[in-house]
Amino acid sequence: MERRDVHVQRKIAEVCFCLYLIVLIYYLLFAERDYLAKGYNVIPFAEITRYIRYHASLGARLVVVNLGGNVIGFLPFGYLLPQMSSRFRRGMFVGGCCFLFSFCVEAMQLVLKVGCFDVDDILMNTVGSMLGYGLYLGVNAIRRKKNASKKEET
């Protein structure tokens, strides 16, 4: 890939990441919800276990939205962040950034009283970002293999 193409690709990733963060922050802090939990949970896996244990009475929709939404909502974080700079391509960096970002959002929800601080949300968000990072690695490997085969043909 030419240097100019790499620069354009990075700029596109930066714009997409910024737009993604704006939408994510709006959704997490300002969007209206059907329910609004307040308080905090600092016991890892407590809410995840509760959702799994009481899924029948809570309803599948609530369980999927709460657990799956956190994972799916943070896939773009792990996919886009490493595309912005070669310094951001280590898995520990991506996971650490997501963990810190999620922690800050959870703390803001508690302080602003627009939600609750839930350590399980931080864990699920980080899992989502790492799945997004895995997707990035897979797409990048395919792209490299494709580029290598093009070079062999010429």
pLDDT digits (tens, 9 = 90+) for 23-74: 999 999 998 776 667 789 999 999 999 999 999 999 999 899 989 999 999 9
Residue closest to 38 by CA, chosen among 110, 105, 122, 106: 110
Domains of the chain by residue range? 3-153
Please check whether residue 46 is in contact with residue 101, taking contact to mean a CB–CB distance below 8 angstroms. no
Q: How many Å apart are CA 129 and CA 26, to the nearest integer?
A: 18
Residues 6+ apart with CB under 8 A from 85: 10
In this prediction, residue 151 carries a pLDDT of 79
| Residue in this structure with the two tokens 């810190």, named with its chain if needed | 100
Q: Which residue type does 103 have?
A: F
The predicted model scores a pTM of 0.91
pLDDT per residue over 64-117, tens digit each? 998 999 999 999 999 999 999 999 999 999 999 999 999 999 999 999 999 899
